[in-house]
Chains A and B, each alone.
Chain A
């Protein structure tokens, strides 16, 4: 990067990188310069004028947040003149400020309080009427109190630099300048909560946390957000064993080196507000056994006795193969590790897994071991987001990518089946027909191998097989299938060849996509032969998917367990955090499957649909209240901490107790003992030989007129979000089709429709969007609209029809 620059601040020398601002250089020396408008994550604007310093050779005072360091520069931050002017400027900011600190939620962590206390005037000279602004509602998450605003505009700049839409703006002028949403609409949920923490004063405060506590009465613990695979660091703030708010874990100097600026800076509104479920009355808090049609609470001892009795009976009568367990990929690594150990080593049953989808896990695991980590992102030549709505699947990663492209001008390439809102900052975006990713990527590889740039890839293992995956291998066939023209594909492939070291971001839950992306990376690396390798970065909706894959590489596939259950071979099933009814394919069938199992133990935070079939229900600790670790999609091990103490037994303890009762030694006093053992297993890496992998090609059955496309929405309700009052109404389930299809079927926006196929039907509202291609119907999985009613295959085409109610 830049050269080293040495300058003197307050008589002390400091050496920093070229391009650093004086305020940051001073911070390095431990010299505090007060500031409001400046923020390390935003561009400097120099408008609050509090960070003024004296610089030798410059007659006027300079704002240190906009002043770049120069060799030999002599800066003084605390001269009488600086002190005087600083006092003056802080006095100006206080002049019209209401000073309603006793009822302001920012109190205690307010920069205006802190800097006024340290640097402000001792006497308030302002004796005139204070100006006031009109209040209005900006939504359920953020409260706007314009009277307190000091117009640093961090919130406006956050949306300009990170957000896709212009949500906030300045209105009016002079002393009447007002920060408002356009047309006084509500704040768009998504990332609006970040403005709360960017706001240095109490102008934008947390509505969920409003008047709940004073900041000095709370304690916080640093944990990891369980909302998605990103693995953001969060602080869980609690008082009297209740979580009151969540903030990003941003330390004061905001250094974003440790996690490459991804995990510590911002949160999405889901991650920030998804904690209200913790105190829900529907929580399972004690063990329960089924009696008649309901559940009655029992003690842990009694529940354990019953479980052990049935487990032993099943093993004795039908062998260990009659016992199985399904765990969720939202469980911690420790739980997954022990769960597997319980079944494989203690019971001796192969029936243990977390996945409802993958079939060929060996290859997937090898790809994962080679795939990108967050640390690869800063050095990558470009980012190729393929077929995932990243802003909703891993929102904060999406925010990072958008800022990277928008502010730092790095290359972002998008290929997506429908518009996702990232297009504005992309170097190039391509829209293809949903479900044709394999063809698209094959087409791109074909373009790379154009005559003048011919590179014989067939020498590499697996290329022939990969090529033979396709029936038609001409460019025309690719064009026809994907709906992307040859010219566009050539543009994309030349952009791909232009930069080295791509990070290819794809939905890691789709196996065939993972293979296709791996093949594209292979092709790029072999054609370019560059120094920086292109890598795949799979993204996941579940927080520990990558960890689960790592810990259970030799999968038996949960579907085999389901098949065993269906055929009556399975007598005992342990569901840990997993709810096959709402998560697995073919919902109707799943009910029948679970009914077929003699004895089911379900351990979960809530009484899930699958738990209704259970003989015994055990309480599960909430992800915000348990210890353990996740491996996030970026490959980092992230540690969870107990935000609050919950009365129930930890899942890992339950597993060890069960194993001990079965006569198998699983003795861990604290979770750290367990973690060390687990980590030694994780160290093992599968070596992935350089080879292409065959991909599966799916055919459209052509039975129904619409192909179902699965959308993503961060607010789509699962068992947690549906119990968080602040955010549970943001997502409205529905089906989205193209205007031309709507016209053909005589449908209008807002019509009630039934989406159906041979498996089942869903009643939803219809909406139209011109970005959706004709013949496709976009739906998002939600508690009120479970798509597994319509699906019996994960990756092939699912077809549906729509009928007006």
Chain B
């Protein structure tokens, strides 16, 4: 039923060795790209495939590549965002650990397309194994001539370095990532100028997610039409979903875009212990909660947007009927409060305030009016912050109150009877 693109060989033992990777059709796209396509043609091809960024925002990748200034005298950089920090997300890790060469090949092709000679993989600090795997895979690729000086006799130099982050969630935000990569304290930069124009070392920089880049070799291999034929018209290709929470088989599932949530749940073998579905985060903790009323929703960019949520990073967190929504929101707010970088006032002060109110409610010291207070704080944060982290922090608050206001009231009145408390 499911057609895998990115994770097709990720389960193959020793796929991380270049020999196995090549046996499974690897490193065919790179020579083809270098010999058959001009850089602009690759950008057009990716544009035609309809590939959209898999990091969360879903911006069309080909279009983004087109923004790289062609005439800049400065060097251009490609940065792979592997800082997978969104709670509930573990798809990039599956690619990095399962099929690192796919990412490397994708990055080499992308570097060629945008004219970069140096690429960086900014990997989450905790992914120590992933970083090791990438480093040895890069070394293998370099030895085989797929990276380094004069790649495959094309006269082009393309090289990749692995940089390990230091644990801040904000460094998944692309400009904070660049600050961190430059050796500074990771804090979002002012936009504009956008990183495509003034990015790493004030040079044009393309920042793409791991999953996005891993799709590139497949598009070269099979063509844009083939890719565009998968999924829905506006959300092409497949998506890797990370299903976690109260399901029988949590894990990584790659399916074409547009699969219904119900199907996805079936793939994960349903809710644990025969319980009922209560709610789910469709794309990581930063996306508004949906409920059992959205069981048939199609998991793609448009449908989820219409339902008032987002596809995000594809991290589906499933909650069963026993889960207390106030506790869930409180836990997430605490996360955002701790991970706020401290740069802008609404996020720094607002998340702290939210967390303090939640803490009070959880300590059975809730007051009348706390729900309105939470909503009013969230409204003051939303849209006023420097970067999307502040907005994200309000998502679980506003959406949980929207669907489960009664639970908040029960909590404040000291009557919560959810078993997970």
A interface list, Cβ under 8 A from B: 44-50, 52, 60-61, 66, 85, 87-89, 91-93, 95-96, 125-129, 131, 150-151, 170, 172-177
Q: Least Cβ distance of B132 to chain A in Å?
A: 28
Q: Are B343 and A47 in contact (CB under 8 A)?
A: yes
Chain A residues near B353: list those with CB within 8 A: 92, 95, 126, 128
- The contact sample of 11 A-B pairs, CB cut-off 8 A, is A46-B190, A48-B344, A48-B345, A49-B384, A92-B345, A92-B346, A95-B353, A126-B353, A128-B356, A174-B337, A175-B348
Q: Are B344 and A47 in contact (CB under 8 A)?
A: yes
Indicate which residue in A49, A131, A173 contacts B346 across the interface (CB closer than 8 Å): A49
Q: Are B168 and A47 in contact (CB under 8 A)?
A: no
Q: Are A49 and B356 in contact (CB under 8 A)?
A: no
A12 to B340, CA, bound (A): 38
B206 at the interface (CB under 8 A from A): no
Q: Least Cβ distance of A764 to chain B in Å?
A: 41
A151 to B343, CA, bound (A): 8
A128 to B350, CA, bound (A): 12
Q: Least Cβ distance of B355 to chain A in Å?
A: 8
Quick one: which of B314-372 are within 8 Å of A by CB? 337-346, 348-353, 356-357, 360, 367
A139 to B396, CA, bound (A): 45
Q: Which of B84-92, B150-158, B233-241, B375-383 contacts A (4 or more CB under 8 A)?
A: B375-383
B120 at the interface (CB under 8 A from A): no
Quick one: which of B376-413 are within 8 Å of A by CB? 376, 379-381, 383-386
Q: Are B349 and A96 in contact (CB under 8 A)?
A: yes
Indicate which residue in B340, B367, B376, B380 contacts A175 across the interface (CB closer than 8 Å): B340
Q: Are A174 and B341 in contact (CB under 8 A)?
A: yes
Q: Are B345 and A175 in contact (CB under 8 A)?
A: no
**Residue in chain A with minimal CB distance to B359:** A128
Q: Are A174 and B190 in contact (CB under 8 A)?
A: no
Q: Least Cβ distance of B394 to chain A in Å?
A: 12
Query: Known interface pairs A45-B190, A173-B340, A174-B341. Does A61 touch B348 (Cβ–Cβ under 8 Å)?
Result: no
Q: Least Cβ distance of A120 to chain B in Å?
A: 12
A150 to B349, CA, bound (A): 10
A49 to B344, CA, bound (A): 7
A49 to B373, CA, bound (A): 20
Q: Least Cβ distance of B8 to chain A in Å?
A: 40
Chain B residues near A91: list those with CB within 8 A: 380
Chain A residues near B360: list those with CB within 8 A: 128
Chain A residues near B383: list those with CB within 8 A: 60-61, 85
B185 at the interface (CB under 8 A from A): yes
A45 to B189, CA, bound (A): 8
Residue interface bits B179-193, CB-to-A below 8 A is 1, else 0: 000000100001000
A375 to B168, CA, bound (A): 48
Q: Are A173 and B350 in contact (CB under 8 A)?
A: no
A175 to B340, CA, bound (A): 8
Q: Are B346 and A89 in contact (CB under 8 A)?
A: yes
Query: Known interface pairs A46-B190, A125-B373, A173-B340. Does A89 touch B352 (Cβ–Cβ under 8 Å)?
Result: no
Chain A residues near B339: list those with CB within 8 A: 173-174
Q: Are A175 and B342 in contact (CB under 8 A)?
A: yes
Q: Are B342 and A92 in contact (CB under 8 A)?
A: no
A551 to B120, CA, bound (A): 66
Indicate which residue in B338, B350, B367 contacts A92 across the interface (CB closer than 8 Å): B350
Q: Are B380 and A85 in contact (CB under 8 A)?
A: yes
Chain B residues near A128: list those with CB within 8 A: 353, 356-357, 360
Query: Known interface pairs A49-B385, A173-B168. Does A92 touch B380 (Cβ–Cβ under 8 Å)?
Result: yes
- Name 6 extra pairs, CB < 8 A, besides A61-B384, A88-B380: A92-B348, A96-B349, A128-B356, A173-B339, A174-B341, A175-B342
A89 to B339, CA, bound (A): 19
A61 to B344, CA, bound (A): 15
Q: Are B352 and A85 in contact (CB under 8 A)?
A: no
A170 to B348, CA, bound (A): 14
**Residue in chain A with minimal CB distance to B390:** A49
A174 to B345, CA, bound (A): 10
Chain B residues near A93: list those with CB within 8 A: 345, 349
Q: Are B342 and A173 in contact (CB under 8 A)?
A: yes
Q: Are B340 and A95 in contact (CB under 8 A)?
A: no
Chain A residues near B386: list those with CB within 8 A: 46-47, 49
Q: Are B379 and A170 in contact (CB under 8 A)?
A: no
**Residue in chain B with minimal CB distance to A91:** B380
Chain B residues near A175: list those with CB within 8 A: 337, 340, 342, 348-349, 351-352
Chain A residues near B338: list those with CB within 8 A: 173-174
**Residue in chain A with minimal CB distance to B379:** A88
**Residue in chain B with minimal CB distance to A68:** B192
Q: Least Cβ distance of B421 to chain A in Å?
A: 22
Chain B residues near A61: list those with CB within 8 A: 383-384
Chain A residues near B352: list those with CB within 8 A: 95-96, 131, 174-175
Chain B residues near A87: list those with CB within 8 A: 380
A267 to B356, CA, bound (A): 42
A735 to B89, CA, bound (A): 63
Q: Least Cβ distance of A700 to chain B in Å?
A: 47
Chain B residues near A48: list those with CB within 8 A: 344-345
A125 to B350, CA, bound (A): 12
**Residue in chain B with minimal CB distance to A130:** B356
Q: Are A151 and B345 in contact (CB under 8 A)?
A: yes
A503 to B396, CA, bound (A): 60
Q: Are A89 and B168 in contact (CB under 8 A)?
A: no
Q: Least Cβ distance of B215 to chain A in Å?
A: 30
Q: Are A170 and B345 in contact (CB under 8 A)?
A: no
Chain A residues near B345: list those with CB within 8 A: 47-50, 89, 92-93, 150-151
Indicate which residue in A96, A127, A151 contacts B342 across the interface (CB closer than 8 Å): A151
Q: Least Cβ distance of B368 to chain A in Å?
A: 12
Chain B residues near A176: list those with CB within 8 A: 342
Chain A residues near B381: list those with CB within 8 A: 88
A127 to B381, CA, bound (A): 18
Q: Least Cβ distance of B183 to chain A in Å?
A: 13
A129 to B355, CA, bound (A): 12
Chain A residues near B351: list those with CB within 8 A: 174-175
Indicate which residue in B190, B342, B350 contacts A44 across the interface (CB closer than 8 Å): B190
Q: Which of B348, B373, B379 has the most CB of A within 10 A?
A: B348
A45 to B342, CA, bound (A): 13
Chain B residues near A46: list those with CB within 8 A: 190, 344, 386
**Residue in chain B with minimal CB distance to A94:** B349
**Residue in chain B with minimal CB distance to A169:** B185
A88 to B345, CA, bound (A): 10
Q: Least Cβ distance of A640 to chain B in Å?
A: 42
Q: Least Cβ distance of A176 to chain B in Å?
A: 8
Quick one: which of B295-312 are within 8 Å of A by CB? none
A88 to B350, CA, bound (A): 9
A170 to B379, CA, bound (A): 28
Chain A residues near B376: list those with CB within 8 A: 88, 125
A-B pairs with lowest CB-CB distance, top 8: A88-B380, A177-B342, A92-B349, A175-B352, A128-B356, A174-B340, A47-B344, A47-B343
Chain A residues near B190: list those with CB within 8 A: 44-46, 66
A44 to B191, CA, bound (A): 12
A87 to B380, CA, bound (A): 9
Q: Least Cβ distance of A508 to chain B in Å?
A: 39
A502 to B360, CA, bound (A): 65
Indicate which residue in A85, A88, A151 contacts B348 across the interface (CB closer than 8 Å): A151
Q: Are A88 and B346 in contact (CB under 8 A)?
A: yes
Chain B residues near A44: list those with CB within 8 A: 190
Chain A residues near B340: list those with CB within 8 A: 173-175
Query: Known interface pairs A174-B351, A175-B348. Does A85 touch B384 (Cβ–Cβ under 8 Å)?
Result: yes
**Residue in chain B with minimal CB distance to A175:** B352
**Residue in chain A with minimal CB distance to B344:** A47
A175 to B373, CA, bound (A): 19
Chain B residues near A173: list those with CB within 8 A: 168, 338-342
**Residue in chain B with minimal CB distance to A93:** B345
Q: Least Cβ distance of B388 to chain A in Å?
A: 11
Q: Are B384 and A52 in contact (CB under 8 A)?
A: yes
Chain A residues near B349: list those with CB within 8 A: 92-93, 95-96, 175
A89 to B357, CA, bound (A): 18
A128 to B363, CA, bound (A): 13
